[in-house]
């Protein structure tokens, strides 16, 4: 039997608006209070997102400036997601694991994006999945520079740079490779490149190691749309964009019932394999 004592752990709960997520929110809030956890939505030790992967992305962005202090847990109210370790019917297990928690964590790389504008402004973003750039109306043309090497002149709809954990999201739909999240690397993937006798790009996605920097230099000014996970921004007259692995990582509470990455990939994309 587990002894009840004030755990001292501060927890924030973030849920989407779906009725099922709201039900889980109320039930979990109640159970955490009964078990002497402290609910805190500004300076928590642990953030629990309730919903799906999209909700975990929102939780990440709420605390993206406190990544070193916070650990995350995802509760999925649908099928098991990529950032979620618990299903909505596993709240007993979740509370027990929180009581037994020793501070152990599992950490994954985050993408840092710096957008340099011609007026001298620099906009900095962090992404957990990816950052994509497109030109608002016509073909996007941009020079791709990898670690100072002018690699190619890209023409097409756009480009995306993803993290290892983001490799199974938009990157995969674009034909990018699935990367194990412990590999510290970024992946640059094309969105509908123009490839013919005149224009040429590599055509496949590129995986760059931890210390390398990817730069994009749009050659045509005007508006570009930059998507960072589930947020969209529009910028006029971008001088260049720099992509690197961030100095901070995202930390998840290490769960004894953690589903292995390859099982998640199999569940999500393949299902049962006929023997
Ligand atoms: P959402 O919550 O509807 O997410 C869209 C889908 O992507 C969901 O099924 C979600 O489970 C899945 N997903 C999210 N992160 C994932 C990951 N790391 N690995 C595998 N699947 C993942 O929409 P949202 O809240 O706007 O989420 C934004 C994310 O959706 C973006 O970061 C992008 O990766 C993804 N997305 C994918 C496509 C596509 O595949 N064509 C298009 C747009 C956005």
Is 53 one of the catalytic residues?
yes
CB 207 within 8 A of CB 86: no
Better-scored residue on pLDDT, 137 or 232: 232
Question: Coil, strand or helix: which one is 20?
Answer: helix
Query: Ligand 1: which residue has its CA nearest to atom 10?
Result: 53
Dist. CA 209–CA 186, nearest whole Å: 7
Q: Please tell me the predicted confidence (pLDDT) of residue 3.
A: 52
pLDDT tens-digit map of 114-155: 999 999 999 999 999 999 999 978 999 999 999 999 999 999
Binding-site residues, ligand 1, Cβ < 6 A = 52-54, 57, 81-82, 129-130, 165-166, 168-170, 173, 229-230
Prediction pTM value: 0.95
| Catalytic residue, candidates 12, 45, 53, 88 | 53
In tens, the pLDDT along 148-201 reads 999 999 999 999 999 999 999 999 999 999 999 999 999 999 999 999 988 899
From atom 31 of ligand 1, which residue's Cα is the shortest distance away?
229
Site to probe by mutation for ligand 1, drawn from 126, 158, 169 as the one with most ligand atoms within 8 Å of Cβ, is 169
Interior CA angle at 133 toward 129 and 139, to 5°?
145
Residue located nearest, by CA, to atom 5 of ligand 1: 54
How much is the CA Rg of the chain, to the nearest whole Å?
Answer: 21
pLDDT at 189: 98
Report which protein residue has its CA nearest ligand 1's atom 40.
170
Ligand 1, atom nearest to 58 Cα? 25
């Amino acid at each position: 039997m587990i002894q009840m004592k004030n755990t001292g752990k501060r927890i924030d709960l973030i849920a989407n608006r779906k009725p099922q997520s709201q039900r889980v929110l109320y039930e979990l809030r109640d159970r955490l209070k009964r078990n002497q956890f402290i609910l805190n939505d500004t300076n928590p030790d642990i953030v629990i997102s309730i919903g799906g992967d999209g909700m975990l992305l929102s939780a990440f962005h709420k605390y993206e400036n406190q990544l070193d202090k916070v650990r995350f847990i995802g509760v999925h109210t649908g099928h098991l997601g990529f950032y979620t370790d618990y299903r909505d019917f596993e709240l007993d297990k979740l509370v027990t694991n929180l009581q037994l928690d020793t501070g152990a964590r599992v950490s994954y790389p985050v993408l840092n994006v710096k957008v340099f504008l011609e007026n001298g402004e620099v906009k900095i973003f962090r992404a957990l999945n990816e950052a994509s750039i497109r030109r608002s109306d016509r073909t996007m043309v941009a020079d791709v520079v990898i670690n100072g090497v002018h690699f190619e002149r890209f023409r097409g709809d756009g480009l995306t740079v993803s993290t290892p954990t983001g490799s199974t999201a938009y990157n995969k739909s674009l034909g990018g490779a699935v990367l194990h999240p412990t590999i510290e690397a970024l992946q640059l993937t094309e969105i509908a490149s123009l490839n013919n006798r005149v224009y040429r790009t590599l055509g496949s996605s590129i995986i760059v190691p931890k210390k390398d920097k990817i730069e994009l230099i749009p050659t045509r000014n005007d508006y570009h749309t930059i998507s960072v996970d589930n947020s969209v921004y529009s910028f006029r007259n971008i001088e260049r964009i720099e992509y690197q692995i961030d100095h901070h990582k995202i930390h998840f509470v290490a769960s004894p019932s953690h589903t292995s990455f390859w099982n998640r990939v199999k569940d999500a994309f393949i299902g049962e394999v006929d023997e």
